[in-house]
Structure 1
Amino acid sequence: MTTVKEAIEAMIRERNVETGRVSGLSRQIIAQMNTLQTGILVNFENLPGINSSGAAHLNLYLQTGAKEALRAALRSGIAQQPSLKMTINSAFRTVAQQHILYRVYQRDPKLIPLAAKPGNSNHEDGLAIDVNNYNVWKPYLLANGWQWLGGNDPVHFFNTNGRDDVSTLGVKAFQSLWNRYNPTERVTVDGNFGDQTAAKMDRCPIGGFAVVNVFRLGDNGAVVTRIQQHLSNVGFPVAVNGLFDRQTKDAVIKFQLKQGLAADGDVGPMTLKLLGIKL
């Protein structure tokens, strides 16, 4: 599986920066953001008047307030010109996409002349859009709560009707995902995209983390029975009833502490391996 670092190297060699290469990872990050903060990002591709190319890099998400401001601008424009369509070049940008832009900017500023450090772009807040036919849409956007960045970046419009810390939430979402799939190499979930988090991002598969089985409190079934049997066999006796109950979770935590794992009570790949369980 190609890693983010390998994809960046290829983009520099090919002189073609395409953040859509991490679309699989981006989808996981967006889903995790909406898990950490329910409904923080909402899709807007079905708004009347939106023209989407379907390009892999496009994440047509905004915060709710920004989406409604966009809906109002679209309604105003279409009322004046019924056949008018808004072509979006960029909307929400995940921390993985911003990492690519920033890494390329650091390595080759001729290829990317300017890029914000991950966690600092308002595209990461779900409050910005880049509009291809910006001259047509500019009056309608400005009349409905959008602001224009100006001549230096004429396609860029941003909205203030929402939280301005969502980019930090995006970093936390990535850090949480990393920890879930790499329980022995955990990173602090603090929303700070520092060197450690950047190094983890470089190692991520561009298609996203592989789906793994994680068993936790409330689960039941044959695998839970095996977990309970193995816990009992290695000195952490529990009732073998196929129900992942509080007693089972407490035993898992004790086992994880003994093994030097993150003691969260969830049984993921590493805990299963150390228990000697193959699925």
Structure 2
Amino acid sequence: MSVSTYTTSGCSTSVVVGLSKQIAQEVGCMSPGALVAFQPGGNLTFSSNAVLPYLHSTARTDLLSVASTRSVQVNSGFRTVAQQYLLYRWYQLGRCGISAAATPGRSNHQSGRAVDLANYSSLISAMSSKGWTHPIPGDPVHFEHPSSPDIRGKDVQAFQRLWNRNNPADKISEDGAYGPQTEARLKQAPATGFAVGASCGAATAAPVDVVMIDGPDKLAPGARGRYSITLSNTMGTDWPGTAKLVVVDGSELHDDTLWTSPTEVGTLDSLGGGAIGAGAQGVIEIPVLAPMVSEVTAYSAEIALVDNGTTLGTIQLALSVTPNGDEDSSGDAGDEDGEHEHDEGEFEAGTVSGGCSTGGSIGWLALVLPALLLSRRRR
């Protein structure tokens, strides 16, 4: 399925997690340390599957330092051009509760040094002590790490490189600028990622590589949800249909009518994936039941794929249970009231070029737009 397929269905950018991981890994190949992965665990939790856990290495270190002693709940981290494209289209179409969205390439979350934290109010001092700022009054969940470089445009260039690597007969400029040619290819790109991924050896996929999660970021209390998860078997051996999906310590998301037990979701066979051969992909369906809560609460589960007692890999599942009537909205919706472009001068109107040229003479906009845009940051 192509990226554009999801402009009119679903409300989670986790549908492009496979492509997004390739883009983040390619950025890391281009500029080592520019994007480094981190995982939930301990005090660090994610509010939905839409969270792409990459940050600049120094920003990552300082975020994890805060999480070593404080509970940190991440709503949003790094966001790729593919994710931003979906958010922008949902905004244009009036979908998914998105009330404002930056054009692809311009979001602060493409900078590699921004996070949104659900429990922001209790973390302002702790984050500040580790070099994070809380710069936008109208966007209280938003933090930035100014000592880390702003890498906006790198993800666009990474996508362009990936496209050219996989489409040698249809190459576009690798200039990091987003415009019609790049957008046209992005719409066509496979949501689960290209056949040939990042260019450096450090970008090795996990044995159980999750390349798509199609399901809600939010559920109402007591509601049932279903997550269609595409798994890529990057191992050299087949996974039998009898391999089990288990949660060692159990999960509050378990559905006692559909799970085998509180600690076992089911087998690859029972969840619809069947046996998945080495190098192949399969799709499983994981049902969940949202707990009854009176306030927005994030839940997560680390689900292990186990064959004859051997753990092959893990799947991270996260969602927020919300009694606020916004269960059909994106996990990136709801914190846009005070959005600002906050571009710090690095983007100039009329400079889009190469594979992304918009054409035309718009030099006068360069004089007008900065004054208008500095007062608005968009998702």
TM-score range, shorter chain: 0.5 to 0.7
Q: Which residue of 2 aligns with 1:10?
A: 9
Q: Would the aligned equivalents of 1:45 and 1:52 in 2 still touch at CA under 8 Å?
A: no
- The alpha carbon displacement at 1:3 in A equals 1.1
1:208 aligns with 2:207: no
Q: Say which structure is richer in strand.
A: 2
- The alpha carbon displacement at 1:177 in A equals 0.5
- The alpha carbon displacement at 1:211 in A equals 4.0
Q: Which residue of 1 aligns with 2:75?
A: 89
Hey, what's the Cα distance between the residues in 2 that align with 1:161 and 1:93? 19
Q: Which residue of 2 aligns with 1:134?
A: 120
Match runs of 1:204-243 below 5 Å:
204-211=189-196
Hey, what's the Cα distance between the residues in 2 that align with 1:152 and 1:109? 22
Hey, what's the Cα distance between the residues in 1 that align with 2:41 and 2:27? 22
The secondary structure found in structure 2 opposite 1:130 is strand
Which structure has the larger Rg over C-alpha atoms?
1
Hey, what's the Cα distance between the residues in 1 that align with 2:87 and 2:167? 25
Hey, what's the Cα distance between the residues in 1 that align with 2:92 and 2:98? 8
Hey, what's the Cα distance between the residues in 2 that align with 1:150 and 1:172? 28
Q: Would the aligned equivalents of 1:95 and 1:167 in 2 still touch at CA under 8 Å?
A: no
Q: Can you give the 5+ residue segments of structure 1 that lack an aligned partner in the other structure?
A: 12-16, 79-83, 215-279
Q: Which residue of 2 aligns with 1:34?
A: 28
Q: Which residue of 2 aligns with 1:68?
A: 61
Q: Which residue of 2 aligns with 1:161?
A: 147
Q: Which residue of 2 aligns with 1:183?
A: 168
Q: Say which structure is richer in helix.
A: 1
Hey, what's the Cα distance between the residues in 2 that align with 1:68 and 1:36? 20
TM (normalized to structure 1)? 0.65
Q: Can you give the 5+ residue segments of structure 2 that lack an aligned partner in the other structure?
A: 200-379
Q: Would the aligned equivalents of 1:175 and 1:188 in 2 still touch at CA under 8 Å?
A: yes
> 1:209 and 1:92, CA in 2 relative to 1: closer, same or farther beyond 3 A?
same
TM (normalized to structure 2)? 0.49
Q: Would the aligned equivalents of 2:116 and 2:142 in 1 still touch at CA under 8 Å?
A: yes
Identity %: 37
The secondary structure found in structure 1 opposite 2:64 is helix
The secondary structure found in structure 2 opposite 1:120 is coil
Q: Which residue of 1 aligns with 2:230?
A: none
- The alpha carbon displacement at 1:6 in A equals 1.1
Hey, what's the Cα distance between the residues in 1 that align with 2:181 and 2:124? 41
Q: Which residue of 2 aligns with 1:103?
A: 89
Hey, what's the Cα distance between the residues in 2 that align with 1:145 and 1:40? 17
Hey, what's the Cα distance between the residues in 2 that align with 1:114 and 1:101? 9
Q: Would the aligned equivalents of 2:110 and 2:152 in 1 still touch at CA under 8 Å?
A: yes
Q: Would the aligned equivalents of 1:25 and 1:207 in 2 still touch at CA under 8 Å?
A: yes
Q: Over aligned residue pairs, what C-alpha RMSD do you find?
A: 2.2
Aligned length: 198
Q: Which residue of 1 aligns with 2:107?
A: 121
Amino acid paired to 2:45? N
Q: Which residue of 2 aligns with 1:23?
A: 17
Hey, what's the Cα distance between the residues in 1 that align with 2:129 and 2:109? 21
Residues 219-271 of structure 1, C-alpha deviations (whole Å, 9 max, x = no match): xxxxxxxxxxxxxxxxxxxxxxxxxxxxxxxxxxxxxxxxxxxxxxxxxxxxx
- The alpha carbon displacement at 1:132 in A equals 0.9
Hey, what's the Cα distance between the residues in 2 that align with 1:98 and 1:130? 15
Residues 189-227 of structure 1, C-alpha deviations (whole Å, 9 max, x = no match): 100011111111111111111249x9xxxxxxxxxxxxx
Q: Which residue of 1 aligns with 2:50?
A: 57
Q: Would the aligned equivalents of 1:89 and 1:129 in 2 still touch at CA under 8 Å?
A: yes
Q: Would the aligned equivalents of 2:24 and 2:54 in 1 still touch at CA under 8 Å?
A: no
The secondary structure found in structure 2 opposite 1:126 is coil
The secondary structure found in structure 2 opposite 1:92 is coil
> 1:110 and 1:211, CA in 2 relative to 1: closer, same or farther beyond 3 A?
closer
> 1:40 and 1:150, CA in 2 relative to 1: closer, same or farther beyond 3 A?
closer
